[in-house]
Structure 1
Amino acid sequence: MTRDDIIMKVSEKLRLIRTEAGYTQDKMADIIGVSKKTLVQIEKGRVPAGWSTVVAVCALFRETETVQFLFGNEPLEVLETVAREGIDYRKGKTMGGKIWWREIKRKNGYILQQNILSKHLRILDEEHYRIYSSFDEESASQRFDEIAAGK
């Protein structure tokens, strides 16, 4: 999944997200920081949302069924993975992948998982802290092997 893929998905579902949240176009535009005219253009499919708008929508409406359906239960992780591809940049606590994740590898307390919706991969430590994310399976597997081996 790329930044453009995410922009397209959120742009196509923005009206549904707004409706599910129970907001008028005026209120939604105010919440996500765009003009009503821009929101209408996005909802009608005339222009795509900008990256900042997509990030705002996913952050502020991450618990809506529509956003969960698009990206699983951790949409911000998907956005972070795309924005910071292939960098060990955080130790975010997760729920361990009980929902939306399948285990690829497990070794020395580390787990390599893949999200069943977005297909992105992540490495968790034994306390379920996320230490790496990527959409590239080969680089994620290689990084997992390095981390699990203590390199």
Structure 2
Amino acid sequence: MNKEELIKLVSDRLRLIRQEQGYSQDIMAEVLGTSKKTLVQIEKNRMLASWTVTVSTCSLFSESEVLQNVLGDEPLEVIKLLAHKKIEYRLDKTMGGKVWWKEIESKGRYVLQQNVISQHYRIIDDGHFRWYSSFDRDDTMKRFGELIQD
């Protein structure tokens, strides 16, 4: 997934996210920091949301079932990965990957998983704490190798 794909996914579902929240277009536009005219254009598929509106939507509505289902669990993680390319974590507890994750490899106390929707990778430990996330498989495999050596 890249920024353009994420923008398209969020743009295509902005109306559903707004309706899920029970917001009018006026309120949603205010919450997102955009004009009602722009919001209407996005909802009618006449234009795509900007990166800023996409980030705001994923941040402010990270608990949205619509977003979680289209992005595979954690919208903020996808946003952070696209912005930073990779993330090292400390003490960031996950749900363990029961729904949107497939196990790639497990060794010692670490598990390498891939999100079945966004396709990004992460490493969690046996307590379900996230250690690393990236869209880059080689980087993730390298970090996995380092962790299992410690």
- In 1, the alpha carbon distance for the partners of 2:60 and 2:86 equals 25
Q: Is the 8 A contact 2:89 2:130 kept in 1?
A: no
- After TM superposition, the structure 1 = structure 2 runs for residues 1-150 of structure 1, keeping only pairs within 5 Å, are 1-88=1-88, 90-150=90-150
Please tell me the residue identity of whatever aligns with 2:3. R
Q: CA separation of 1:138/1:9 partners in 2, compared to 1, >3 Å: closer, same or farther? A: same
- In 2, the alpha carbon distance for the partners of 1:90 and 1:35 equals 38
- Structure 1 unaligned blocks of 5 or more: none
The alpha carbon displacement at 1:22 in A equals 1.5
The alpha carbon displacement at 1:90 in A equals 4.8
The alpha carbon displacement at 1:39 in A equals 0.8
The alpha carbon displacement at 1:143 in A equals 1.6
Q: Give me the TM-score of the superposition, normalised by structure 2.
A: 0.90
Aligned Cα root-mean-square deviation (Å):
1.6
Moved more, 132-141 or 57-66: 57-66
Is the strand fraction higher in 1 or 2? 2
The alpha carbon displacement at 1:134 in A equals 1.0
Please tell me the residue identity of whatever aligns with 1:80. K
- In 2, the alpha carbon distance for the partners of 1:84 and 1:125 equals 22
- Structure 2 unaligned blocks of 5 or more: none
Aligned partner of residue 88 in structure 2, secondary structure = coil
Please tell me the residue identity of whatever aligns with 1:59. S
Q: Deviations over 1:102-146 (max 9, x none)?
A: 111111211111111111110112322212111122221122112
Identity within the alignment, % = 52
Count of residues paired in the alignment: 150
Structure 1: which 4+ aligned runs deviate by more than 4 Å? none
- In 1, the alpha carbon distance for the partners of 2:80 and 2:90 equals 10
